[in-house]
Amino acid sequence: MAVQDNMGARAPRASLLNDPVIRGIVYQVLVAGAVVAFISWIVLNTAQNLAAQNKTTGFDFLFRTAGFDISFTLFPWSRTSLYWEAFLAGLLNTLLVAAIGIFFATLLGFTLGIARLSSNWLIARVATVYIETIRNLPLLLQLFFWYFAVLKAMPAVRQSFELPLDIFINQRGLMVPRPMPDHEFTWVLVAIGFSVIATIAVGIWATRVRTATGRYPSAVVLASKVADAIVSFLVALLAFTLLGNMISGVSGAVIFGAAILVAILSVTRLAPFSRAAVAFVFGLTILYALLTAMFPDVPPLLVAAGSALAGLAMAWISFERTAERPPSEGRFPLPLLVLIAVGIPAFVYWATGAQLAFEVPVLERFNFRGGVQLPPELVALVFGLTVYTAAFIGENVRGGIRAVSHGQTEAAQSLGLKEGDRLRLVIIPQAMRVIVPPLTSQYLNLTKNSSLGAAIGYPELVNVFTGTTLNQTGKAIEVIALTMAVYLTFSLLTSAFMNWYNGRVALVER
Amino acid sequence: MTTDTAFIRNEFVPAKPAPGRTDGPIVWLRKNLFATPTDAVLTILGILFLLWAIPPLYNFIVGHAVFPGGTVEECRAEGAGACWAYIAARFNFFIYGFYPIDQYWRPNIVFALGAALILPLLVPSAPFKRINAALFFVVFPLVSFYLLNGGVFGLRQVPTEQWGGLMVTLIIALVGIICSIPLGILLALGRQSNLPIIKTLCVMFIELWRAVPLITVLFMASIMLPLFMPTGTNVDKLLRALVGVTLFSSAYLAETVRGGLQALPRGQYEAGASLGLGYWQRTYFIILPQAIKHVIPGIVNNFIALFKDTSLVSIVGIFDLLNTVQAASSDINWASPTQAVTGYVFAGFMFWIFCFAMSRYSLWMERRLDTGHKR
Amino acid sequence: MSQMSETTAETPTRHSGMQISKTDVAIDVIGMHKWYGDFHVLRDINLRVMRGERIVIAGPSGSGKSTLIRCVNRLEEHQEGQIIVNGTELTADLKRIDEVRREVGMVFQHFNLFPHLTILQNLTLAPIWVRGIPKAEAEATAMHYLERVKIPEQANKFPGQLSGGQQQRVAIARSLCMQPRIMLFDEPTSALDPEMVKEVLEVMISLAEEGMTMICVTHEMGFARQVANRVIFMDQGQIVEQNDPDNFFSNPQHERTKLFLSQILH
């Protein structure tokens, strides 16, 4: 107990048994003795049982041939591979699912958490219903649902659903194009690495100069204007091309000219108008495409009218946002950073003549040829883990944001900080301190929950190792100990990170 | 001095209604759905999403569904919704598993007894808490076991292999929580202890179980438990799962209870000590009653997690609710395109009802405890 | 409060009306009404504050004092009438709101310091990101104001390490770093222990002596006597009585004011 047991002893008659220190030692010896006795009893029993079954112990089985198939591995696998390779394959598959799941669950979870706090009643309500439904259903049930009721009910290979970007979905999983980089493409990869570093460096440098001198470096401001025009041009080009596809018969020259016009306007004071026009076109075209896909029975004219209305609303938002923006001298050079991040690799790609072909999956007589085939087990597991974990992350995010008192926003407002600065400098740093620790344990939970993949046949660690390997070798103790050691390692790494993070960000109190 | 600043209001300004309407549906819509252009766009997208998602969902569950009394042919028809007729036909299987039909009265009595004992336990103002708790946590499990298992008082023996469905789900969840509460409390106390060996043992136990997924615990219980026992001992399959679930859940419960122990002001420990109470007296009379009361919402949340986790026992071959649904979905007599989905929707609904009710209860308790604290 | 009434006697500097401008209007509130839903919180508020004036608003809780000054930098919006601050009328226009907030400092009852930033960072955040002042200069200004509130040695600590009185003084310094032309105080001493009230009031008094235009919502009547040139009494969302402190305290006119003063002064 936290308090020393020194009150219970009556001083005059203090016998040895009433001395708190001695009593503590006696207790501990008794407990330790009981534990040791219990463990020896178990070990003895186990040894007898193993002897009775003529089994040996030891990890030498890891270097024997496994002789079974694994449906999906990240490295070449054959029946002659060894048991330790099976262990590795399972571990890598676990990590793969965890990584993809964590990525999507974080995106969806943050969206849900913010949506639940939205002042928009409908959005907040939809997010609440999602969270309250998903949280209260067992994950295994959800996995069964996605796997047996959804993916297994997909059409056969011949009738595959075709999704955009040459992706196909059918009973055998998801067929996605396989990127086929050629030799020169290595340079593009190098350029991507370089541009990421350059973007971060320029961003930090610009912010430092801005803090130290009160203004962004003039070179950055100028480059930023150019970048603004280029980005505006590309965005406008995309928007007008989409529009051109919608109403056929618009020549390429007109589209190009309109995009140039938008780019020129974007660096003048008429920028709000040009941006509003682009926003209108985007609203119109994207919603039109979405609506025609969602409600094929509604007459196209009605859909077009609805989309145009939404486009107008988007234009209005964009107009107000742009009109409120400070002049480019006082703005964070985001367009420039985007241009560096995307532009350098694009330039290298063009200059070296590199080719990134995509091997598109093609339906042949009985199956698809080419592309990458993601097994349905993987798809269902990622989907299930994402949907489930996002509900919990959403709640953590909501809690973290709500933990920042409204007084903080008011203080920032009364100092004249604009909304973006308020979020960036005051609200988010405080919310993240609250969010990160539970977020980390959700990541750990997701990793542990990926073991349920065993129930739908995804070859992750528990399935391959604790399932198949244990069945074949009968080395129950060794196999289960190794599996537990893996998860224990994950857990220890997570808590090490959390301790470090908490120590770093803990608010200093008196 | 500056008399021109002097001002006295002789007539009070009466309250007048706000300009424009302040309530009514139009104001509500404008405030909650169309406050800004961004809100308007989000609202429109949200409505479109609901228009797209709800009609098919409604048609599946109600509109085109085949209700009890329907035939399998109707379920097989093109465009048919959920096949509720199939659920009705296999309902007893989902609730009792393979339990003999003529003995259904035994689980029914257990259900009724459990409900009668747990409801007053959940209402904080109900009297006889201690007797009630003793009945529920000690007497009820024993009575239930002998009633379900039989073999005494002339009752036919029903081996656990025949137990199944919702009954087994509830049994595992209840046994898990009932056994893990005392274990969890002991572990939490041990972890707070200043006796190094006891503390280390408790920390190791808690952290080990919390680190590994339940599925490996269940594998371990079902494969290794027989190895640990003296040769020739036969450990029941359900019992193995129960041991695994209990150990697993006690580690989580210990952490919840520890939160309650840590939240207690230090003065409570000191006051107890200054009254001359020994460690166990202090703990039993002063510390635990307060700590447990504070963590009731946390314990309920643990119970929700445990309840959802019981579905994992299907992996080690026990016929809980999810496993009966899974098994029945290959029932040829009711084979139809919506058979599997209907089963999952039904199982999901059963799980959801229990979990949602518990989470509301925990929220309610939390609010109750909160106000009690402020007063 | 008792300490303050003692100091009142020995400082004859009050009503130094010479600093008050006769023509320069700092804040003009004209026929302003505010509702929370259907609840009429502020009713027909008319208040003209000249540059250099020090105004104390008193009144029972729930009388709308805080709401009134929160309307002045639009932490709350009003529904009828006009509020004109430094010649800018407050409307829904974000640019105008920003313009007003830059020139108006606000001190809250619960300090609202940013707990994740050091004292110095708290003070330089807005000057750097709102005014675009170079960091070194912003830090020099911040140190200047920290010295004014007598806690320069705490610059690199975090708010959680300071006492309530110190935190409130930091909060005042944080507002001053934006070099506002008007300061609003929303019950700045209500959340403080009695011995810390004095150190905060001293800072406020010295600000007043320098001619800062201020509106203070406070129950510190000693402070009102000493520095205010006008005391406003509010009840049920309206200004009931307003007068210079001498007349206000010695000769209250309205029944409601008399009742309030008899309760608060004894």
The CATH number of whichever domain residue A456 belongs to comes to: 1.10.3720.10
Asked if A28's CB is within 8 angstroms of B195's CB, the reply is yes
Residue A12 pLDDT: 52
| A window 142-181, beta carbon within 8 A of B | 144-145, 148-149, 153
The answer as to whether B20 is a domain residue is no
- Residue A9 pLDDT exceeds 70: no
Of A296, A331, A366, the position where a domain reaches its end is: A331
- Residue A336 pLDDT exceeds 50: yes
Percent of chain C past pLDDT 70, that is, above it, reads 92
The answer as to whether A273 is a domain residue is yes
Chains in contact with A, where contact means 3 or more Cβ–Cβ distances below 8 Å, are B, C
Region A435-456: mean pLDDT is: 91
Residue A510 pLDDT: 55
- Residue B157 pLDDT exceeds 80: no
- Tell me: do A30 and A123 sit in the same domain: no
Region C169-190: mean pLDDT is: 93
Choose the closest CB to A413 out of C101, C136, C137: C101
- Tell me: do B206 and B353 sit in the same domain: yes
A346 residue type, one letter: A
- Residue A178 pLDDT exceeds 50: yes
- Tell me: do A382 and A499 sit in the same domain: yes
Q: Which of A260-269, A401-410, B205-214 has the lowest mean pLDDT?
A: A260-269
- Residue A8 pLDDT exceeds 60: no
- Tell me: do A382 and A497 sit in the same domain: yes
Residue C127: how many other CB atoms lie within 10 Å: 24
Which candidate, B303, B358, B348, B356, places its Cα nearest to that of B322?
Answer: B348
- Tell me: do A382 and A493 sit in the same domain: yes
Number of domains in chain B: 2
- Tell me: do B123 and B247 sit in the same domain: yes
- Mean pLDDT of all residues in chain A? 84
Residue A420 pLDDT: 82
- Tell me: do A498 and A400 sit in the same domain: yes
B12 shares contact with chain C (CB less than 8 Å): yes
The CATH number of whichever domain residue B282 belongs to comes to: 1.10.3720.10
Residues ≥6 apart with Cβ < 8 Å to A272: A318, A319, A322, A323
The answer as to whether A72 is a domain residue is no
The answer as to whether B147 is a domain residue is yes
When pLDDT is cut at 50, 70 and 90, the band that residue C66 belongs to is: very high
The answer as to whether B71 is a domain residue is no
The answer as to whether A70 is a domain residue is no
When pLDDT is cut at 50, 70 and 90, the band that residue A126 belongs to is: very high
Domain that holds residue B91: 84-369
Residue A486 pLDDT: 93
The answer as to whether B200 is a domain residue is yes
- Tell me: do B29 and B127 sit in the same domain: no
- Tell me: do A92 and A46 sit in the same domain: no
Tally of helices (H runs) and strands (E runs) in chain C: 10, 10
Residue of A nearest to C106 (CA): A414
Chains in contact with C, where contact means 3 or more Cβ–Cβ distances below 8 Å, are A, B
- Mean pLDDT of all residues in chain B? 83
Region A124-134: mean pLDDT is: 93
| C window 72-131, beta carbon within 8 A of B | 79-80
When pLDDT is cut at 50, 70 and 90, the band that residue C11 belongs to is: very low
Higher pLDDT, A178 or B345: B345
C43 shares contact with chain A (CB less than 8 Å): no
- Tell me: do B202 and B291 sit in the same domain: yes
Relative to beta strand C238-243, strand C80-85 is unpaired
Domain that holds residue A306: 230-331
- Residue A25 pLDDT exceeds 70: yes
**Tens digits of residue pLDDT in B77-106:** 888 888 888 888 888 888 888 887 877 888
The answer as to whether A389 is a domain residue is yes
- Mean pLDDT of all residues in chain C? 87
Q: Do residues B114 and B174 make contact, with C-beta atoms less than 8 angstroms apart? A: yes
Region C127-146: mean pLDDT is: 92
Q: Is C217 exposed, middle or buried (0-12, 13-18, 19+ CB in 10 A)?
A: buried
- ∠ CA A467-A468-A470, nearest 5°, is 70
Most confident of A193-202, B216-225, C3-12: A193-202
SS3 state at B285? helix
List CB contacts (< 8 A) between A426 and chain C: 114, 125
**What is the separation of C-alpha C185 from the centre of its chain, rounded to a whole number of angstroms?**
2
**Tens digits of residue pLDDT in A300-326:** 888 888 888 888 888 888 887 777 777
When pLDDT is cut at 50, 70 and 90, the band that residue A7 belongs to is: very low
- Residue A151 pLDDT exceeds 70: yes
- Tell me: do B120 and B30 sit in the same domain: no
Of B9, B33, B63, the position where a domain reaches its end is: B63
Chains in contact with B, where contact means 3 or more Cβ–Cβ distances below 8 Å, are A, C
B24 shares contact with chain C (CB less than 8 Å): no
Residue A367 pLDDT: 73
The answer as to whether B18 is a domain residue is no
| A window 224-263, beta carbon within 8 A of B | none
Residue B371 pLDDT: 53
- Residue B215 pLDDT exceeds 70: yes
Residue A80 pLDDT: 83
List CB contacts (< 8 A) between C246 and chain B: 1
The answer as to whether A295 is a domain residue is yes
**Residues facing residue C184 across a β-bridge:** C106, C215
Region A269-287: mean pLDDT is: 85
Rounded to whole angstroms, how far apart are CA atoms C59 and C260?
7
When pLDDT is cut at 50, 70 and 90, the band that residue A18 belongs to is: low
Of A52, A73, A99, the position where a domain reaches its end is: A52
Higher pLDDT, C165 or B156: C165
A329 shares contact with chain C (CB less than 8 Å): no
Most confident of B212-226, C3-17, C128-142: C128-142
Of A313, A331, A349, the position where a domain reaches its end is: A331
- Tell me: do A310 and A236 sit in the same domain: yes
**Tens digits of residue pLDDT in B20-34:** 766 677 878 877 888
The answer as to whether A242 is a domain residue is yes
**Tens digits of residue pLDDT in B246-280:** 999 999 999 888 888 888 777 777 787 777 777 77
List CB contacts (< 8 A) between C238 and chain B: 9, 12-13
Region B105-133: mean pLDDT is: 81
Running DSSP on this structure, what letter comes out for residue C133? Answer: -
- Tell me: do A388 and A493 sit in the same domain: yes
Residue B370 pLDDT: 65
- Residue B2 pLDDT exceeds 50: no
- List own/partner pairs for A410-414 with CB under 8 A and 24 or more apart: A410/C75, A410/C106, A410/C108, A410/C112, A411/C106, A411/C108, A411/C112, A411/C113, A411/C114, A411/C171, A412/C114, A413/C73, A413/C75, A413/C101, A414/C73, A414/C75, A414/C101, A414/C104, A414/C105, A414/C106, A414/C175
When pLDDT is cut at 50, 70 and 90, the band that residue A96 belongs to is: very high
Residue of C nearest to B8 (CA): C241
CA of C205, closest CA in chain A: separation in Å?
A: 22
Q: Do residues B355 and B307 make contact, with C-beta atoms less than 8 angstroms apart? A: yes
Residue of C nearest to A507 (CA): C116
When pLDDT is cut at 50, 70 and 90, the band that residue B66 belongs to is: confident
The answer as to whether B13 is a domain residue is no
CA of A320, closest CA in chain B: separation in Å?
A: 10
Number of domains in chain A: 3
**Tens digits of residue pLDDT in B312-353:** 988 888 888 988 888 888 888 888 888 888 889 999 999 999
Percent of chain A past pLDDT 90, that is, above it, reads 26
Region C188-215: mean pLDDT is: 90
Region C80-97: mean pLDDT is: 88
DSSP run (H or E) holding C120: helix C119-126
Higher pLDDT, C266 or C244: C244
- Tell me: do B170 and B285 sit in the same domain: yes
Residue A17 pLDDT: 62
Relative to beta strand C54-58, strand C230-235 is parallel
- Tell me: do B30 and B150 sit in the same domain: no
- Residue A385 pLDDT exceeds 90: yes
- Residue A235 pLDDT exceeds 90: no
Region B291-298: mean pLDDT is: 82
Residue B76: how many other CB atoms lie within 10 Å: 16
**Tens digits of residue pLDDT in C219-251:** 888 899 988 989 999 998 999 999 888 888 888
CA of B33, closest CA in chain C: separation in Å?
A: 17
SS3 state at C233? strand
List CB contacts (< 8 A) between A149 and chain B: 340-341, 344
The answer as to whether A189 is a domain residue is no
- Residue C177 pLDDT exceeds 90: yes
Most confident of A349-363, B356-370, C224-238: C224-238
